[in-house]
Amino acid sequence: MISCRSNLGQNLLTGKIPPSLGRLSSLRILSLLENGLSGTLPPELGKLSNLEELWLPSNNLRGDLPKDYENLKNLTIFGIGGNYLSGPIPTFIAKWVNLYALILRNCSITGSIPPYIGSWNQLAYLDLSFNDLTGGIPNTFKKLFLYELYLTGNMLNGTLPDWIYINVRDKGDLAYNEFIFPEPEAHKNLPNNNSRINLTFPEEIMREYCPAGQKKSQLTTVNLRGKSYTLKQVKVATRNFSPRNVIGTGRFGTVYKAELPDQTVAVKMLSSQSKHVIDQIGTEVYALTTLKHENIVEFLDGYSKKDLNLLIYEYMEKGSLERALFDANSSTRLDWPTRVRICHGIAKGLKYLHEDNPSRKIVHRNIKPSNILLDGNLNAKVSDLGLAKLYDEENPYKFIQEKGTVVYMAPEYAMRKAITEKVDVFSFGIVLLEIISGQTNAKYEANQETEFLLDTAIVLHSKGRLSELVDKQMPNEHVVMKQAKIILELAMRCVDQSPTLRPTMSEVVSELERISN
C-alpha cells in the first residue's frame, strides 16, 4: 500500500529534489521543509494533481516556480519560505483557488501583490513578508476574511484601507513598509494611527505558522543605546535573518546587518547549541558590556534561549580588515597612513584588554584580520571578545583544527593550550605582517605543502631583506620604507617562538606611537 503522505522534513537531505517524486500520483501531502535541498524546482511535481499540501520552506532552492505547477489545483497549503526564488508571483497560481495558506516568506520575490489572491475564498493565512514587493494592498483583498496576514519587511506603500482592521480576524503584521494610516473613528485607539506605519497590529505576540500548528510567543526586549526593541523588531530588521543581510560568517556564527528605524546594528547568531555555551553566555559574554574603548567593538546587548542565541554589536560600516586587505571586490583602499593607524588601533585595543581593563585581564585568543573591523573612518576595532574562550571549553581541539585560525595561533597555544596574553601578541604579529605586505598568512590547506607568509618573513629577516615584504602598492618613499621596516621588525619580535621574548602590548603601543608621531 502506497502512503498518501511523504514527510521528509528536517532530515538533512541535500542535493536536488528528485523528479521521480512526480510519479507518486496518489500523494496528497509532501513535506521537504528544513533540509539542505538545492537547485531548481522540478517541473515533474506539477503532475501531482492530487497534492493538497506542499511544504518546501528553509532549503536552498532557486529560480522560478515552474509553469507546470498550475496543475496543482487541489493545493490547500503551499509553503516555500526561506528559499531563493526570483521574479514576481506568477500569474498561473491564480488557479489555486482552494488555497487555505500561502507562505512565500523571505523568497526574494519582486513586483506587486497580485489582485487575484483576493478571489481565493478559502484563504485564511497569507505570509508574503521579507521580500521586495512594491505597490499597495489590492482592493480585492476586502473580499477576504483572513485569520493571519503578514506583509512585513517589503516596500509596500499607500494608505492602509479601513477594512484591513476588520477583515484580519486574528493577527497581522505590516511592519517596515511605507504605509500611511487612515484615521477611522473606530480605530483611534490603535498605535501610530496618524503617522507612517510601523506596526498595524499590536506587536506583543508573533505567531509563526508551521505544519504542526505550533505558535510561539516572543516578548523579550533588548536595550540598544538606551532604546528598547522587541526580539521581533530585531528579527524584522534583519529581514528574518535573510541571507541578503549577511555581513560576515565565521566559526562562532553568522553576522547580520539589522536596520532598525533609528539605528543600524550588527546581530551575530551563534552557531553552537551546546548547553555549556548557552549557560556561560550570561556570565562570560554579557560581562563584556563593561568594556568601553575606542578600539573595541561595542557590545550592546544579547538574547539567549535554548534554540536562539544572539549577540548585538555596533555596526561597522567598512566591514573586516580581512576583506579590505584581501578581497579584490572590496571598494575599500588602505593607503599607508591608514595602515599605520590600523596597526596602532589594534595594538591599543589589545593593550586595553591585557592591561587597562578595570575588571579583569582578558586574553582574546583569536586575533586575525576577520576579527578586526573598520568603522566609516577606517578606524580599527577588535571584535569577537570572549567567544573563543566559550568555544574552547566546549571543544578544546576543534578550534586548533580549524582552517584559517591555526595560522594565527601561537605555538604554545596550539600544542599545549597554554594561555597568556602573549598568545594575542603572537597573533598580532602575524596581522602586522599581513597589513604591511598586503599578503595573507591564511592560505593553508590541510595535508598539503604550504609556504606561509611567516616562513617567508623569517627567511628574509635572517638575510636582512625584510623590507622586500612591503606591499608593492605602497609608495617607494623614504619615510614609508623607514616606518615599514620598524613595523616589520616589531612584528618579528611579536612572533618570537618564546613567549617571554615577545613584547607586551604597552611596549608595542609605545613604539607605534613614536612612528605615528
Residues annotated as binding site?
268
Amino acid at position 309, single letter: N
Written as one letter, the residue type at 489 is E
Rounded CA separation 130/239 (Å): 5
Helix, strand or coil, per DSSP, at residue 225? coil
Please tell me the distance from the alpha carbon of residue 157 to that of residue 180, in angstroms, as a whole number: 7
Can you read off the three cell numbers belonging to residue 414?
Answer: 596550539
Q: Which three cell numbers stand for residue 354?
A: 591585557
Instruction: Work out whether strand 110-112 and strand 132-135 pair parallel, antiparallel, or are unpaired.
Output: parallel
Grid cell in block for residue 479:
619615510
Reference 496, options 482, 481, 507, 510; nearest CA is: 507
What residues does 299 pair with on adjacent strands? 313
Cell digits for 319? 566591514
Residue type, 337: P
Binding site for ATP: which residues?
268
Is the CB of residue 364 less than 8 Å from the CB of residue 392?
Answer: no
SS3 at position 173:
strand
**Distance of alpha carbon 450 from the chain centroid:** 31
SS3 411: helix
- The C-alpha atoms of residue 458 and residue 455 are separated, in whole angstroms, by 5
Per the CB < 8 A criterion, the answer to whether 167 and 131 are in contact is: no
Residue position matching grid coordinates 507518486: 24
Alpha carbon of residue 80 to chain centroid:
21
Q: How far is CA 326 from CA 202, 345, 422, 439, 442, in A?
A: 46, 19, 26, 7, 11
> Would the CA dihedral through 227, 230, 235, 237 be positive or negative?
negative
Q: For strand 77-79 and strand 101-103, is the pairing parallel, antiparallel, or unpaired?
A: parallel
The dihedral built from the CA positions of residue 307, 313, 315 and 316, taken in this order, carries a sign that is negative
Please give the full DSSP string across 59-84, using - where no structure is assigned. Answer: SEEEEPPPGGGGG-TT-SEEE--SSE
